[in-house]
Homo-oligomer: A and B are copies of this chain.
């Protein structure tokens, strides 16, 4: 099932996407809800970020090729020896279709990072690796847009990764997913720049969730961005980036210059 959050005539609600239509749902997928039977053509509504997370987790370095590519670009990173979780900030979230705004003083190395996003559905603590996926509601797609000069110069990722609009996420949450069959494909201006098996992670989702919930409680609506493979060309205003994960959908955003 595909859950989207959308706006129509100023009203915001959740809905279930089927083909090219979306049916309005009263309530949220994370609480009491019921289908209304009211459906609209998908192209007549504005898709929103599918969930505003209570806490926004990000695995960071979780594919071997990405770590090596980052090292080659001068970032001080190593292949992690254990699944230490990072964070991103809700202020930076935008929906599929929204522009990514490049600040005037950004350097030339604006890059995408195509990521599988885990959406938590149930409160969870002390989950074993075998039980870890039981708290997952579904999956969506994230673009962990990064400014590599700030990533290198700043003490934290606040500006390199959490500038407003730097975290596109969507287009919706897919609940029926076979992780081992997923393939991530990125296209810049229609041309494929990378394809990789989405689940070929350094530490898998179950390992991350089990490790995290030893110390912290996951809550419904929390999101975990699972990292990316490879590297990205430098992006410039006017570029269109499409991240497709087979079986989930396509996250599409155009990069524009700050005015």
A54-B52 contact given A86-B156, A217-B164, CB 8 Å threshold: yes
For chain A, residues 91 to 108, give those with C-beta under 8 angstroms from any C-beta of chain B: 91-92, 103
Q: In the complex, what's the smallest C-beta–C-beta distance from A249 to chain B, in angstroms?
A: 26
Instruction: State which of B61, B158, B215, B219 has its C-beta within 8 Å of the C-beta of A163.
Output: B215
- The binding surface of chain A is classed by DSSP as loop
Query: Can you tell how many copies of this chain the complex includes?
Result: 2
> Which residues on the B side are within 8 Å of A91 (C-beta)?
54-55, 216-219, 222
Number of interface residues of A (CB under 8 A): 34
- CA gap between A89 and B55 in the complex, in Å: 6
Name the distance in Å between A121's Cβ and chain B's nearest Cβ: 16
B55 touches A158 (CB 8 A): no
Question: Does A158 contact B86, Cβ atoms closer than 8 Å?
Answer: yes
Contact, CB under 8 Å: A158 / B80: no
Given contacts A54-B52, A55-B90, A154-B84, contact A103 B162 (CB under 8 A): no
How far is it, in angstroms, between the C-alpha of A84 and the C-alpha of B151 when the chains are bound? Answer: 11
Task: Give Cα A61 to B156, complex, Å.
Answer: 11
A254 is an interface residue with CB less than 8 A from chain B = no
User: Which residues of chain B are near A90, meaning CB under 8 Å?
Assistant: 54-55
> In the bound complex, what is the Cα–Cα distance between A219 and B92 (angstroms)?
12
The interface residues of chain B lying within 8 Å CB-to-CB of A201 are none
Is the beta-carbon distance between A84 and B54 smaller than 8 angstroms? Answer: no
Q: Please, which residue of chain B has its CB at the minimum distance from the CB of A84?
A: B155
Give A161 Cβ to nearest chain B Cβ, in Å: 11
Which residues of chain B have C-beta atoms less than 8 A from A212's C-beta?
158
Q: Supply 6 A–B pairs (Cβ within 8 Å), ascending by A.
A: A85-B156, A86-B158, A91-B216, A103-B214, A162-B215, A164-B216
